[in-house]
A and B are shown apart, each in its own frame.
Chain A
Amino acid sequence: MNIIEVKNLDFEYPITDDEGNVIGGNKVLKDINLVIPKGQFVAVLGHNGSGKSTLAKHFNGILVGNSGKVYVNGIDTADDDKIYDIRQTVGMVFQNPDNQLVATIVEEDVAFAPENLGLPPEQIRERVDEALNAVDMYKYRLHSAHQLSGGQKQRIAIAGVIAMRPECIVLDEPTAMLDPKGRKSVMKTIKRLNSEFGITIVLITHYMEEAAQAERVVVMDNGSIIMDDVPKKIFSQVDRLNEVGLDVPQVTQLAYELKKEGIDISLEVLTEEECAEELMKIMNKT
């Protein structure tokens, strides 16, 4: 079963002159085809301006393409009557946690989405508690949102989406404004949602270390998908990634440099443990 299907999607932002007349278009997405099966953890990688955030906004009908289609659970996102079903199925988390929280008190913010869905109060309470437990923030439920750290705020924003019980969560650079500690806690939460609750995750990012933790990596450049594979296969193509302005995880870089010096090491290493293992193998051989 596929949760998101993108077919021949094109999108352009109109360019206007000083008087507001449309004088052309800035093509951001070019003929995108992408299928995301249920339960997958996909990372979308690309540098600034590659179109990755624009693509993400098509997944729940915030933007609708100029041509081509996006289907969520088989429903066309251009269908205005079904738009709330789509938004409930595919939740979205943005970069700046401060600009996503609506209410002052944590639990009231998490309740925002179920309130919009018109659920009875007992069910709202149940969902709020469930969502706060899922991101491990239950004990902060009565705190003011502005007193929390960036990572905690972002986890509240995630809880606010989980309270809709979505099947898929799209996260648009959720860690870009966080400190390393907050980044770690958010990544841990995302992975847990995927493995424990079976929620499909689409993580838009430009951090290689985060993309390496996904099951599948989609690389975008200049409005097109240029690579789509498991992380190991993607990151072993060091030259190709450098060409489009992306780095590889540090351990992969190390393996790459060693290989250039004539050492027979696999480039399919993503974590420090894997790298150490590979190095051990080589040292044992000699």
Chain B
Amino acid sequence: MLKDITIGQYFPGDSIIHRMDSRFKIVLDILYVVMLFIADNFISLAIAGLFIIMAYGVSGIKPIMMVKSLKPLLPLILFTAVLNLFFVKGTDEPLVQWWIITIYWEGISTAIYMIVRIICLIIGMSLLTYTTSPIVLTDAIERLLSPLKKIKLPVHELAMMMTIALRFIPTLIEETDKIMAAQKARGAELDTGGLMKRAKALVPVLIPLFVSAFKRANELAMAMECRCYRGGDGRTKLRQLKAAPFDYMIFFLMLTVLGFIIVDNMVF
């Protein structure tokens, strides 16, 4: 069950998307989300959808990965859709009116738009992590946030924490599986019973997991000290982030599309 998580997964490759400056990728992703939520008619959403599918096309990431990234969030998507379907009130006559359920044409269209938006949002974000190594990603976040150092925000420390968290996700998942197996071998019932009972059964899994995580943290800190770690001051990077003309091109293309959608919304 824990193996299904695709967040933070990275597939090394050499496509133009992989080679793009990761700072631009993050900014583009944010702009893309803005675009998705401004777009509220068929044409603009179709453009947004086409945009991300084209991006997947050139990235060389297998299309099945789009579906995989959606799987854990399926309940959320359905929930949003159902909510919109039943609660959006339209101006025309309702399409269906039965007992307490009233469905308007606007409800259906909002639900569909919402589904498309969330799907595009998730696969868009996934594309970022699929094509960017976690270290480069945190590096880019560090650079983008670096102006905030002036207001004493510990930007480097936050980025380092993210790097380490990403590094230890698989290790701790493996450890959790091991502890669960060990507790099951001693008669713990982790998969049966009601919600409360299951939650209680998790305590003997979480305590050893926490103890071991602290022990690991301690050892890691020592190993980092041995490798001359002394915070972000004076640190350099193996990979330099360099913006290529292509990055600017995509960036302006994105701005143009965004501008088009805004105009499109104001006109119609």
Query: Is B219 a contact partner of A99 (Cβ separation < 8 A)?
Result: yes
Measured between beta carbons, the chain A residues less than 8 angstroms from B43 are: none
| A236 within 8 Å of B (CB atoms) | no
Query: Is B236 a contact partner of A120 (Cβ separation < 8 A)?
Result: yes
* Beta-carbon contacts under 8 Å, B160-185 to A: 163-164, 166-167, 170-171, 174
| A101 within 8 Å of B (CB atoms) | yes
Q: A118-B236, A121-B240 are in contact. Are A104 and B166 (CB under 8 A)?
A: yes
Query: Is A105 a contact partner of B133 (Cβ separation < 8 A)?
Result: yes
Q: Interface 1/0s, chain B 223-240, versus A by CB < 8 A?
A: 111111110001111111
CA distance A87 to B229 in the complex (A): 10
Q: A62-B225, A105-B133 are in contact. Are A99 and B238 (CB under 8 A)?
A: no
Measured between beta carbons, the chain B residues less than 8 angstroms from A128 are: 238
Q: Interface 1/0s, chain A 123-142, versus B by CB < 8 A?
A: 01100100000000000001
* Beta-carbon contacts under 8 Å, B231-268 to A: 234-240
* Interface secondary structure of B, over-half rule: helix
CA distance A103 to B227 in the complex (A): 13
Q: Interface 1/0s, chain A 82-120, versus B by CB < 8 A?
A: 001001100110101011111111011001111111111
CA distance A256 to B166 in the complex (A): 53
Give the contacting residue for A104; candidates B134, B222, B223, B224; CB below 8 A: B134
CB distance from A57 to the nearest CB of B (A): 8
The total of interchain contacts (Cβ-Cβ below 8 angstroms) comes to: 101
Q: Interface 1/0s, chain B 193-214, versus A by CB < 8 A?
A: 0000000000000000000000
Give the contacting residue for B236; candidates A60, A99, A124; CB below 8 A: A124
Give the contacting residue for B133; candidates A92, A104, A114, A124; CB below 8 A: A104
| B220 within 8 Å of A (CB atoms) | yes
Chain A, interface size category, equals 35 or more
Q: Interface 1/0s, chain A 164-182, versus B by CB < 8 A?
A: 1000000000000000000
Query: Is A99 a contact partner of B227 (Cβ separation < 8 A)?
Result: no
- Determine the residue in chain A with the shortest Cβ distance to B219: A99
CB distance from B137 to the nearest CB of A (A): 10
CA distance A88 to B134 in the complex (A): 27
CA distance A98 to B166 in the complex (A): 13
CB distance from A78 to the nearest CB of B (A): 16
Query: Is A62 a contact partner of B223 (Cβ separation < 8 A)?
Result: no
Measured between beta carbons, the chain A residues less than 8 angstroms from B235 are: 115-116, 118
Q: A102-B224, A116-B228 are in contact. Are A121 and B239 (CB under 8 A)?
A: yes
Give the contacting residue for A118; candidates B224, B227, B234; CB below 8 A: B234
| A161 within 8 Å of B (CB atoms) | yes
Measured between beta carbons, the chain B residues less than 8 angstroms from A88 are: 228
CB distance from A62 to the nearest CB of B (A): 6
CA distance A105 to B219 in the complex (A): 20
Query: Is A99 a contact partner of B223 (Cβ separation < 8 A)?
Result: yes
* Beta-carbon contacts under 8 Å, B116-147 to A: 133-135
- Determine the residue in chain B with the shortest Cβ distance to A107: B238
Q: A118-B235, A125-B238, A146-B171 are in contact. Are A103 and B226 (CB under 8 A)?
A: no
Query: Is B229 a contact partner of A105 (Cβ separation < 8 A)?
Result: no
Q: A102-B220, A103-B163, A104-B133 are in contact. Are A121 and B236 (CB under 8 A)?
A: yes
Query: Is A99 a contact partner of B220 (Cβ separation < 8 A)?
Result: yes
- Determine the residue in chain B with the shortest Cβ distance to A119: B236
CA distance A273 to B223 in the complex (A): 39
Q: Interface 1/0s, chain B 81-121, versus A by CB < 8 A?
A: 00000000000000000000000000000000000000000
Measured between beta carbons, the chain A residues less than 8 angstroms from B167 are: 101-104, 145
Q: A98-B171, A125-B238, A145-B167 are in contact. Are A62 and B222 (CB under 8 A)?
A: yes
Measured between beta carbons, the chain A residues less than 8 angstroms from B12 are: 142
Measured between beta carbons, the chain B residues less than 8 angstroms from A111 are: 238
Query: Is B226 a contact partner of A60 (Cβ separation < 8 A)?
Result: yes
| B71 within 8 Å of A (CB atoms) | no
* A88, A91, A125, A144: most-surrounded residue (chain B CB, <10 A): A144
Measured between beta carbons, the chain B residues less than 8 angstroms from A84 are: 228, 230
Measured between beta carbons, the chain A residues less than 8 angstroms from B234 are: 118
Give the contacting residue for A91; candidates B133, B224, B226, B239; CB below 8 A: B226
- Determine the residue in chain A with the shortest Cβ distance to B160: A102
Report which A residues bind B (CB closer than 8 A).
60, 62, 84, 87-88, 91-92, 94, 96, 98-105, 107-108, 111-121, 124-125, 128, 142, 144-146, 157, 160-161, 164
Can you list 23 contacts pairing A with B, beta carbon distance less than 8 Å? A62-B222, A62-B225, A87-B225, A87-B226, A87-B228, A88-B228, A94-B223, A96-B216, A99-B216, A99-B223, A100-B220, A102-B227, A103-B135, A104-B166, A105-B133, A108-B239, A112-B229, A115-B235, A115-B236, A121-B240, A124-B237, A124-B238, A161-B227
Besides the known contacts A87-B226, A91-B227, A117-B228, 13 further A-B residue pairs in the complex with CB atoms under 8 A apart:
A84-B228, A87-B228, A98-B216, A100-B223, A101-B167, A102-B167, A103-B163, A112-B227, A116-B227, A116-B228, A121-B238, A121-B240, A146-B174
**Which 4 pairs from chain A and chain B are nearest by CB?**
A111-B238, A99-B219, A100-B223, A113-B227
